[in-house]
Amino acid sequence: MKRIACLQVAVAAVAGFVAFTALASGHADEEAAPIFAITIPSGYRDWKLISVAHEEGNLNDLRALLGNDIAIKAYREGKLPFPDGAIIARLAWIYVPSEENNKVFGRSQSFVAGPATNVQFMVKESNKYAATGGWGFAQFKDGKPAGAALLKTCFPCHEPVKARDYVFTHYAP
Amino acid sequence: MKRIACLQVAVAAVAGFVAFTALASGHADEEAAPIFAITIPSGYRDWKLISVAHEEGNLNDLRALLGNDIAIKAYREGKLPFPDGAIIARLAWIYVPSEENNKVFGRSQSFVAGPATNVQFMVKESNKYAATGGWGFAQFKDGKPAGAALLKTCFPCHEPVKARDYVFTHYAP
């Protein structure tokens, strides 16, 4: 059943990708991520802050979650599910100790954002992405989209938080 | 010399505080921080992201640096010193492990923003705050300003990064 749904998404995505490619001619750097046909949303670096986090292990990053106005409004009003048009951006940077800060503090305690790792987006379009909880997923590194294999892992990972419309991050007041 | 400068600031601040109190009548919750007479800038939670960080030790927080439009523009253009009117906000939340996230990852690796600790502001007014590098400093916890004793520690701590106009945080691309 899931497999069928996934195929439907794939077919829809291919159609979407073709449409996008036609629209985006002349914008060679705006490459769409596969499956969900998502491009980097314009101006996302200016969006408002949802929260911050630190992931250890392989990820080894500091991250910030930003939301477009639709997402931020839904977060602040505590409204679920997120309405269509909501986009959540996850920026991440390598987790690096700050020698400069530690010198001032007189001890090793300060970790800051190093070089960017990648940026991910969740885009809510309940009909378009019905097979994946209404969300499309994308990841870009230096402007280049991640492949389909990686993007197929997004939704299964987000399924445990179905009760919060598949969104892990809580709003930080 | 420093002591004199500090006293001058204190005198100016008392005058500023009186002026503020007169202006703010009817806004009892907009209490100004001492010394620099800074109130919580309206709408700061909507400002754009500068960067994120994690402090261990007593601070034990995850933090986000936000900037008003003047500060963000200066950061992005790499222009120092920051122009008058620039304000940098440092939000911080208790550093807490996320059991929910860890369950999904299958290992202990995820740390998220817990309850807010306090919010700090650096306000650039080169004449008004000439004795402290052109910056005024403030800290608020649950809307209540920190006392003068704490604020007197701000500038000495920022002095080692005089070459970057007394600002520790680098912009995260």
Q: What ipTM was predicted for this assembly?
A: 0.83
Contacts of A56 in chain B (CB under 8 A): 108-111
Backbone angles phi, psi at A116, to 5 degrees: -65, 140
Q: What is the pLDDT of residues B76-131, one digit of tens each?
A: 999 999 999 999 999 999 999 999 999 988 999 999 999 999 999 999 999 999 99
Contacts of B53 in chain A (CB under 8 A): 62, 98, 110-113
Q: Is there a contact between A62 and B54 if contact means CB atoms under 8 Å apart?
A: yes
**In this complex, which of A49, A57, A100 lies closest to B64 when CB atoms are compared?**
A49
Decide if pLDDT at B52 tops 90: yes
Placement of tokens 């502001």 in the chain: B121
Shortest CA distance from A64: residue in chain B: B52
Distances (CA, A) of A69 to A40, A74, A104, A126, B80: 16, 9, 38, 18, 31
Q: Give the mutation candidate from B48, B54, B103 for the A interface (greatest A CB count, under 10 A).
A: B54
Distant-in-sequence, close-in-space partners of A122: CB < 8 Å, separation ≥ 6: A87, A88, A90, A135, A136, A137, A166, A167
Q: Is there a contact between A109 and B64 if contact means CB atoms under 8 Å apart?
A: no
Show which of residues 1-60 on chain A sit within 8 Å of chain B, judged by CB atoms: 45-46, 48-49, 51-57, 59
Q: What is the pLDDT of residue B29?
A: 53
Shortest CA distance from B160: residue in chain A: A104
Q: What is the pLDDT of residues A114-139, one digit of tens each?
A: 999 999 999 999 999 999 999 999 99
Q: Is there a contact between B100 and A161 if contact means CB atoms under 8 Å apart?
A: yes
CA dihedral B123, B128, B133, B138 (to 10 degrees): -40
Contacts of A105 in chain B (CB under 8 A): 57
Band of residue A101 on the pLDDT scale cut at 50, 70, 90: very high
| A113/B contact by beta carbon, under 8 A | yes
Cα separation, A4 vs B88, whole angstroms: 50
Q: What is the pLDDT of residues A17-42, one digit of tens each?
A: 333 333 333 344 578 999 999 999 99
Q: What is the pLDDT of residue B101?
A: 93
Q: Is there a contact between B173 and A103 if contact means CB atoms under 8 Å apart?
A: no
Q: What is the pLDDT of residue B12?
A: 35
Distances (CA, A) of A154 to A136, A138, A149, A168, A172: 9, 9, 10, 12, 23
Contacts of B107 in chain A (CB under 8 A): 57
Decide if pLDDT at A8 tops 60: no
**In this complex, which of A49, A52, A56 lies closest to B109 when CB atoms are compared?**
A56
Distances (CA, A) of B47 to A74, B41, B73, B172: 18, 10, 12, 15
CA atoms within 13 A on the CB side of B76: 14
